[in-house]
Amino acid sequence: MVASRFRDLYYPSRNNFSDGSTGFTPTAACVNKHGDLVYVGNSEGEILIVDHNSFRIRGVVPIAGSGAIKNISFSKNGQYLLTNSNDRTIRIYENLLPVKSGLYALDEFSKELDEQDEFEKFKVVGSRCLALFRELQDSVTRVHWKAPCFSGDEEWVIGGSANKGEHKMYIWDMAGHLVKILEGPKEALIDLAWHPVRPIVVSVSLMGLVYIWAKDYTENWNAFAPDFKELEENEEYVEREDEFDLLPEIENVKASDITEDEEIDIESFEKRFCFQ
């Protein structure tokens, strides 16, 4: 693998330094689902949309008053983009570009805006790429966030508290409602991840320990057998005389099922969405 610098990024709203580098600092980046566009968060609180082949900035989405962007990531289906900024706010954007032809759509936008000022053109293109969908924050404690991400099914968003000495994770639904706070030991949280398929979260503490969080299931056999009766203590069961006798009709049905010649498909398999 060969690393390439974004040395050729040209951004008209910033004064370039004498060595040709840009006047802003990239702070976070991610790639869209199709892999043709790079979304870069910078120290000025902007999302830059970059063509990964030419290193050209194709659009910009300014976030007013946000400060530096610390994290940026896409949902697995590519429909939503998440950012975490210094203003203690997690933002969710809806991706307005088609998943497989984003570059083509950007070319069409640019042709329509040829006569505009270049920086204004970037902002107009950016407004056609991303639309603010939701803002998430704790309005009471105003905590900074660490490692926010989507759940595997894109129905939930989780973010860890950046406060020292606490291991807390906040879970919101996509409507923006806080539904759960997970609280662990008095150890600072440094990273977390959500399982791509199952409701499992993994978090890492500053002490070097990894914690696995899973749903606490309570067995309720009444849900499977309506006539099931829960007992406080063991009781002796008295069976009916014919309770375990096999009826001739049932035996015939079972025999016919066993002798039935049915092909079993051992080659086909169902693809997991998260691996597509």
* Helix/strand number for the chain, H first, E second: 3, 15
Averaged pLDDT of the chain: 84
258 pLDDT higher than 80: no
Q: What is the pLDDT of residues 230-256, one digit of tens each?
A: 777 888 878 887 777 766 655 555 555
End-to-end, the C-alpha distance of the chain in Å comes to 24
Whole-angstrom distance, CA of residue 192 vs CA of residue 40? 21
Note the pLDDT of residue 21.
54
Q: Domains in the chain, ordered, with CATH?
A: 26-214 (2.130.10.10)
Note the pLDDT of residue 111.
80
Q: What is the pLDDT of residues 151-192, one digit of tens each?
A: 999 999 999 999 998 999 999 999 999 999 999 999 999 999
From the number of C-beta atoms within 10 Å of its C-beta (0-12, 13-18, 19+), residue 140 rates as exposed
Whole-angstrom distance, CA of residue 240 vs CA of residue 31? 67
Q: How many CA atoms lie within 13 A of 232 on its CB side?
A: 0
- Running DSSP on this structure, what letter comes out for residue 17? P
Q: What is the pLDDT of residues 120-142, one digit of tens each?
A: 889 999 999 999 999 999 988 89
Amino acid letter, residue 264: I
Q: What is the band of 207 on the pLDDT scale with cuts at 50, 70, 90?
A: very high
